[in-house]
Amino acid sequence: MPSSIHMKQSSTVVLLHSSASSARQWQGLVESLQPRFQVRAVDFPGHGGRPAWPGDSTLSLADEAALVAPLLAETGGAHIVGHSYGAAVALKLATMHPSLVRSVVVYEPVLFRWLLDDHTEQPAAQEIEAVVDSISHRLARGQELSAAQRFINYWSGSGAWESLHGGKRHFIATRMRAVLQHFDALFREPLARAQLAALRIPMLFMTGAQTVLAARRLAELFRYALPQHQHELLPGMGHMGPVTHALEVNRRIVKYLHAHEPIALAENPREAAALAMP
């Protein structure tokens, strides 16, 4: 009788996008993960095909996590991958439902509240506060396109907005009021470093070596608070690395998820162990 390997039922991976983007951001990663994993790419309120969050209600990361949590309960647990705002929601989700999170992979989670509480690096907090104030003032004057320009050029570099075609600019502009809700949620988020440090969940933190000051400082704070987890600095990448360098970022994500995906052995443990190697 030939030896065989029986894989456990496919695990689920939940993908959380960045502000002003959508679940389509992860299309390449979805293709790389399937069919080994079941993949659920989520749209946040006001993004993709999801209606905006009610204007008279304050949005929080806990609210966003609550929208995603049923996917975890439905599948009995999942790996969570997030970028920027989606990365912050991923960490919040892990603290709210640790028993349902198998691993967390994040690229530059933007927990801006940590910068406000960080008295050693005020320029980082001042930088992002100036960006948010500028966006807020432009939206108050009904200047959605101008607000979107400020947002995109901050995160992607001067001239990034100007390189976009008109249709892309329009779609981003329509999401700017939702983006402002994101900033508000991130500045108010009470998630403490000790809460994350207490989690016994495998985590990978990725940061672009060419990213903005605010994200660089947050990466330092994550390394200090969570030294037990894996931290990678990716050369040549900025904050939008998962988009501009999708192949490289996706390769790292897939490798990490495979390394933290259990395999059920039948009669050939040596071959199964080789298959499990990242």
What are the structural domains, with CATH classification, of the chain? 12-112+190-276 (3.40.50.1820)
This prediction has a pTM of 0.91
Q: Where are the beta strands (DSSP E) in 124-278?
A: 203-208, 230-234
Residue 121: band (very low, low, confident or very high) from pLDDT cuts 50, 70, 90: low
Whether the predicted pLDDT of 3 surpasses 60 = no
Whether the predicted pLDDT of 270 surpasses 90 = no
Strand partners, 232: 206
Residue 214, by phi and psi: left (phi above 0), alpha (psi -120 to 50) or beta? Answer: alpha
Q: Which helix (H) or strand (E) holds 129?
A: helix 122-140
Task: State the pLDDT at residue 9.
Answer: 56
Whether the predicted pLDDT of 120 surpasses 90 = no
CA distances (Å), origin 35, targets 13, 38, 39 = 11, 7, 9
For residue 165, with 0-12 CB atoms within 10 Å meaning exposed, 13-18 middle and 19 or more buried, which class applies? Answer: exposed
Q: pLDDT tens across 185-209, in order?
A: 999 999 999 999 999 999 999 999 9
Task: State the pLDDT at residue 119.
Answer: 76
